[in-house]
Chains A and B, each alone.
Chain A
């Protein structure tokens, strides 16, 4: 019995075409020589990449997004790792409730969360500030990190830690020498995904950011809203390449699908 038949394979190929087409076309259009989005383009050039370099608002937005994503990732890991360790490895009353509390923001529509953050952060003076954006992004990245790392910690067999303890290792040494090295794949995946999640976050940023502080997705959003020219294709191509690079890197290092727990 063969695992997959020809009909299934054909259908799957068509769906993959559907998934890949917008991405491939964006990459192609980014090398267009036309002033508008035309496919196929009448000629090829790198002029839109040049335009990109000459647009300081996009550059600034890129800088903000990278800084933001880095900050958010570090904070999400710093807060999320102890919480995940506690939930995965300790037995205490209310453990399930605590896990539910930590992951609840993932169940809520981002749009509602974004509005709630705007309403709360505006009177606190946090709207359109870097600390405000960092906190707002943590609302979704922190639960995500906690969920991935909880799986990673829970997948460890406690026997290995017990073995270290019987060999004379104190609890902190057990954590440093045995537990931590064994969750490194989960940590890498969590780091990469938290960074991507924050870097790509659009809806919350749209609500929280202002004219003087824009993230890259927000800047692209406003650009697309006003006009569509191949400059955005060039920028999109760069963003897609960046995402692919991170995913390939993580896949090479640990196997993304395995780390996500599927």
Chain B
């Protein structure tokens, strides 16, 4: 439309640009800058241009352990989330129920409930005297409570739940290519429902699966509240370490360097994903 072609309208972007320059661009540069500062033996921070912090980080084998922990936890939780979200998304995509929008809202419900509150809910479900252990004890399956929280099990369960809504949204968005008519065509050609799923539905939804997995993996790698609270101080990942160095130890150069390291890791994953999809498309 001609009226809207005038370059004078660019001022409309000014307030948002100003806010984000101040709250996003400048802090991110500051973060990168901080990682090159030096920490003196007493703990004081000295402005500098040095790679000392990175060297210190690389030399500490604990950081490698944290990295592997993060990757393993994220991989497991993301895969579980995919397995749970796929049937739900497929159901929501297909259903003609008049409760469809209600069911969709419940599926993305965890997104709308505060993370700390959800963690608390899992404590009530999985704790020593929670729902699961009460049931197991009452049924006589175990003689004393099974430890389900304050360890990797609890963190994995909680993280899986917190990733579910993102996975559902990603899958639903990607299901646009699924067409009931194509599935009907496969069936009319003699394919049984299971074969239709394997030969038609699944291949068509593969891009959505890959994208959803990637989004959730990145979210899981940087998840902090769930590992911290459901881990009860016994679960160590990169994200909890960043918080530790930033808030408890107040070693800001190290916290910044760890963050940069985490970002680089995520970028590597993104790059690998890009290469993978290019190969799949070819």
Direct contact of A and B (CB under 8 A): yes
A residues lining the B interface (CB < 8 Å): 1, 3-5, 8-9, 11-12, 15-16, 18-23, 25-26, 29, 36-40, 75, 78-80, 82-83, 85-87, 89-92, 98, 101-102, 104-105, 108-113, 115-121, 135-136, 138-139, 142-143, 146, 158, 161-162, 165, 171, 196, 200, 202-203, 206-207, 217, 220-221, 224-225, 228, 232-233, 236, 239-240, 243-244, 247, 251, 255-257, 262
Contacts A39-B134, A232-B120, A233-B120 known; 11 new A-B pairs at CB < 8 A: A4-B94, A19-B161, A22-B161, A25-B121, A91-B4, A109-B263, A111-B222, A112-B242, A119-B30, A224-B120, A239-B117
Indicate whether B109 reaches chain A with its CB closer than 8 angstroms: yes
Which A-chain residue is minimally distant from B90 (CB atoms)? A8
Cβ-defined contact, B222 with A86, below 8 A: no
Cβ-defined contact, B129 with A38, below 8 A: yes
Cβ-defined contact, B121 with A256, below 8 A: no
> How far is B99's CA from A180's CA once the two chains are assembled, in angstroms?
30
Residues of A within 8 A of B187 (CB): 1
B260–chain A nearest beta-carbon distance, Å? 8
Cβ-defined contact, A165 with B27, below 8 A: no
Q: Contact string, B64-105, partner A, CB cutoff 8 A, digits 1/0?
A: 000000000000000000001101101100111000010111
B residues lining the A interface (CB < 8 Å): 1, 3-5, 7, 9-10, 12-13, 15-17, 19-20, 22-24, 26-28, 30-31, 34, 84-85, 87-88, 90-91, 94-96, 101, 103-107, 109-110, 112-125, 127, 129-131, 134, 161, 164, 169, 172-173, 180, 183-184, 187, 193, 218-219, 221-222, 224-225, 229, 239, 242-243, 246-247, 252, 255-256, 259, 262-263, 266
Which B-chain residue is minimally distant from A30 (CB atoms)? B124
**Contacts A3-B96, A39-B131, A119-B31: A83 and B88 contacting too (C-beta < 8 A)?**
no
Cβ-defined contact, A118 with B121, below 8 A: no
Cβ-defined contact, A119 with B256, below 8 A: yes
Residues of B within 8 A of A139 (CB): 20, 23-24
Which A-chain residue is minimally distant from B129 (CB atoms)? A38
Which A-chain residue is minimally distant from B26 (CB atoms)? A120
Cβ-defined contact, A111 with B123, below 8 A: no
Residues of B within 8 A of A12 (CB): 87-88, 91
Our pick among A3, A16, A161, A240 for the contact of B113 (Cβ within 8 Å) is: A240
A145–chain B nearest beta-carbon distance, Å? 9
Residues of B within 8 A of A22 (CB): 118, 121-122, 124-125, 161
Chain B contact surface mostly: helix
**Contacts A3-B96, A92-B10: A102 and B20 contacting too (C-beta < 8 A)?**
yes
Residues of B within 8 A of A111 (CB): 222, 224, 239, 242-243, 259, 262
> How far is B239's CA from A203's CA once the two chains are assembled, in angstroms?
11
**Contacts A22-B125, A112-B262, A118-B246: A165 and B3 contacting too (C-beta < 8 A)?**
yes
> How far is B32's CA from A129's CA once the two chains are assembled, in angstroms?
24
Cβ-defined contact, A217 with B116, below 8 A: yes
Cβ-defined contact, B16 with A79, below 8 A: yes
Cβ-defined contact, B27 with A220, below 8 A: no
Cβ-defined contact, B161 with A18, below 8 A: yes
B77–chain A nearest beta-carbon distance, Å? 13
